[in-house]
Structure 1
Amino acid sequence: MTKFILLRHGEPTYDEVVKLGFKGTGLALAPLTQKGISDVQETAKNKIFENSDILISSPYTRTMQTASIIAKRHNLDINVEPLLHEWIPDLSNNYNTEEEFLELIRTAKCDWELKKRNHNHICSFKTEALDHVQERAIEALSKYLDYNKVIVVSHGLLISTLFKEKVRLQTAGFIMVTDSEINENLKQIGMGKTLCKK
């Protein structure tokens, strides 16, 4: 049995990357705020992270910065997992600000209560289907089923795709689940895929 500690990144600031004119996935280069750093440092003190075997992280700056704080405290290396990246709200990458990103989310109607998991048919732009986000997460986590305890630093939406009930983690928040609990959630959602060793 593998235990996964699913940790959402700390609070980011987009001010500098917006000022530099970055847009779309360029906004992923946003670092943590001072509060975000402090919150993650506080989270890192939690005994739940002790005796972890490995730490894996989304490649985005906010997740890598979060992962580095946790890894330093618990003497772990960081494995970068590209499949753990944030949901892509606009595959054309034309959004320029955090506000536009949030508006894309509202427009895409990511409403878990309505279970609109593939919403491209209702959007005026092409967005990554939530089923695809979930499949990416399953593929990434399946690589680590030989470990006892894995810290996973990623994004709130990606983490929430692994649960039947709504899971809304605050920044620097976490939840620990086993591989069998994730698989049970995936079955209840009606997902054909589950975590399995390759």
Structure 2
Amino acid sequence: MTRIGIILGSTRPGRNGEAVARWVTEIAQRRTDAEYELVDLLDYKLPHLDEAIPPSMGQYSQPHTQEWAAKIASFDGYVMVTPEYNHSTSGALKNAIDFLYGEWNNKAVGFVSYGSAGGTRAVEHLRLIAGELQMADVRAQVALSLFTDFENFSVFKPTDFQHDALTVTLDQVVAWSTALAPLRAAA
């Protein structure tokens, strides 16, 4: 069965992303088309990138990198839940992505973002990064507004439209992850 990792891309105290990622996971786990698992960056304690050899070589020397690589390699695709900080993604998510290379290749990725402008600028940056990592980013995305999908900018209350957007995003991530399976097998 196709396995999809839902990556919680914020480590900030009081982060809105935790409620968002749990919402994504709850909806995803009701589906029968794939196995879904929440991956919280807080559980991996990744320092700033500390590998001497470029990730494209796949020669990880640090135990935290090896643990992170094993987790990411176990999935066929991903949904990244990202805040928008200063018109980009979080430093924690970018750092976690940068630790690895081959583990991301030939896998689909979808995005659930949140921020004052729905987190769309963070997703624009993540799409460029995904291309460099040979990931197939799906067109659909969920863009949650701090003004309409959160009460007082902190209590997550997504509008009905967002559930539909998430359904389409998950549909595309699963379809593309399945379609890319022969490329992963050949590698």
Tell me the TM-score normalized by structure 2.
0.36
Tell me the TM-score normalized by structure 1.
0.34
With CA pairs under 8 Å and 6+ residues apart, which has the higher RCO, 1 or 2?
1
Task: Choose 1 or 2 for highest CA Rg.
Answer: 1
Relative to its length, the structure with more strand (as a share) is 2
